[in-house]
Structure 1
């Protein structure tokens, strides 16, 4: 995490919002108030609406604020309105519009000498650019704000801006510069006796020190912050320290102490009813602790919990975006509906004038037509109802069919992404290990995960979401392994793969077995071989056959058949048994593995136009 993430709780603005009245009811309540009082009430209403993600109500409130401010020609109120509009656009993920509103606000505040408000507007702009990771522009607006704060001798604002600059440099990994800015902010807070701001800035310093590799100093400052938080009974800061301190202790290899604090964090999160991101961080830390201890079963359990909470965060974010999109759509629909109503009213008034003149003449004819009209209407109603029923049924069937196919693609995409995350985690973990055997074991695990990920990648990229094209899959898998083991030059690769589509239930174990045998060949078969060669064949007759041959020195078949602690050998044996097949091995003129699997017709489809190799 960057320092910026942990500056948020310093503002202590997160409070429960009151139940929001409808805007029409709210307008009635404030219509007798003075303009200035109505403006302040509208401002509070817009903030409350934003907290509850009710953007149409927030937009109505800010429009009301702008009208009052413009009618009074009050520049400060106009500037405050643009600030509120910028906040609303930022909450709806419209950074360009948010920056535009903030720029208007800061220009107005500058013109009337409201320097503190101008600085807040510049810092909001900087915050948007930081969230977009456009650090150059973020720094530009920080420095612009710092110049104004220095000119006006606004010491507290100068310290706040130093903290922002420290966040930017921390994201850039320029830790010495980040620590320098943080030190400047600490000095000012201390001189102004701003104890809360000082403690939060000190907390940020501990994070920067951890990021820069100064773990001992980071841990000491965390303890200093924890002592201050307990003295002030600042439960929020205390909990954040419990979450972050274990990461530093983990790097110091103080595993027991790290676990003690992260379990305090878990107790704190439960007592405060915290949101899923807190639990995700806690369980990720517990995973790392138990991995470092070598207790991989427990680490795996905690990793599963962290992934559950990570999925909750992703789902919540998707739900929020869906609500925002739906809200904007409803707002546009309401505006269009109002315009249509105005047009309808005008058209109805014109029609009424014509109908009044012809009403007397039509009265007699209407009486005669009434019975016929009722009969026709009854018949038409039944026909319309029947047609609508059929139309709805067809639409539901088509929609459900499309949704099912899309859900399968999404499922395979999600599985592929999750496997990619697991692969990345294994790669990162291997970089942190020093034991070569451990690194090799983790890297081999990563290759197995990538072999499974490749299957799910194929499934969501094609129209067939249940079967894997083995020609494409084997080609991509083997060439990826060749690249990993640097066997791209002067290497004779022969792929004779029949155009077979396998059910994913069989494709996964077959892919893992192929991955293990091919990896074994690349690792052991070609030492001292001038022209290495590898032949892989897959065909289907009465059964499914997979053959892997190399031109290495061969192997002792009796040695292979002996019990072994090799994970790869046990994995091959287990998967072969699970698939109901058998493995034949020959060690003459190189090593040859022949995997024979009984395959029901429904699990393996051979394209009829091409004969198998």
Structure 2
């Protein structure tokens, strides 16, 4: 999929909120005009109710980084580099990346080192330096392979495939395509599905099968919409519009580009706005709306300054559009002028690319020459050191003769040296303590990251083991264990993605847990009414882990048994603090609209009120796990039938 998206990520609540109108127009083609009007109306209302205030991101990031140590600045450097790349400020981005990479290497932070190599590759890829981007990507990939970061490996393989496609290197492209396919098959990640679908769409484009390419483009955008990755969604949406134009679907292409334009204007993204102006003239030209096409082409020319590294490429494309517009109007003299300008910028672009390739070859040659010179200097230095060592032996005798005369003077200097050494030692100890304190936060984040990666390995091993079992009960038991491991892994993921290393943001955790289980059991988010109403609070890890496992068991039970014969499945998950009663605590409620406790498959899923006595019969492992965890939290639970199955859990406030 072509096109880029530099828009900030949107926010969208999963349950009960309005969803993006642009996606409704994409899914329901017959009502695209109505969806677009509703989107523009909602955009106008939201803009009137809450006008967007411009944000000075440069001052914001610089203020946040001013009071931090070099190690603590790595998190903000990551965000700031992405912002600079989105605004085509490549020189500033490279300077910040070099400094951050040096800090990460000196502190032996391998995860951050790989991340900054990866960002360097993105900068060079965006800037058109494809050979340099490959070098950075391969360095990052080597570190991710050594640290078993499977998701990052898949992501880098996809980007490397795209670069080798641009370089027309078919052998390398196939090599990394096979590597990405192996990783996707063995360590399946939902976040990698859009890249896989987009890669397949590109393959179909290369063989001229636009209908198949459009189908895989819609699949990629579906996953991005479900996971709320709006920056990548709009990048794919822009490329989807280009495919529609190539396929002759000009009305749909125009609507797609206008959705991208409306979003870029709302978010204040000048580069995405530029791409919309560049792409709109082509479908408008084929629709016979020549004045509009010329208007957007001229707007594109006035905003090319927002992407300075690709001005010649953009001007070539815009002047080609203006040439076609002038020809359609019968203005052949003006068309000739535009054609000459297009050829002029095309030749300039080719010249720049050729000079860049020559400069890279020369740089590699000079680097080899410098390395040879360094090696020779090293040999010469070693020879000189040997000579100096022999001269030092002769000087020892002379120094011995002067020792008696300088004895008193040396005693005084020794006393002063001890004082300076003590002072320096105190200063050095204070500096090391300060550095260790600064590094502790980053190291804890890396620790949680590695724990999450290790749990991901355990989950993958359990998934592969389940595929080798023949007993359905054994397979079900291993899969249940896998989901419990993933529920714990999700908590560690919340730790390393936030600055707070003591508490878990329970709202984000419960939302992602519910979404993952819904998708994991094969339900369609478009037809499943799932409402997650969780208070925005933080819980200690001692409470979050058992609570997460309890929710995992209850939600898994609902998705497995409740909706077998339900036409309109519905699930409600609530978590809120209780403060208006003598006993304060947390209240958790899960309600489905299935057949209730007497439905098929639910007999073994019944739970008694509160914690069972010794005389009560033993239930399944999931039941016992819920009871034990509820007892561990000191809570009370109940399971009843109220228009479906209703689960209630009350946990007292920890002392």
Which bracket does the TM-score occupy, shorter chain normalised?
A: 0.3 to 0.5
Q: Give TM-score scaled by structure 2 length.
A: 0.41
TM, length-normalised to structure 1: 0.44
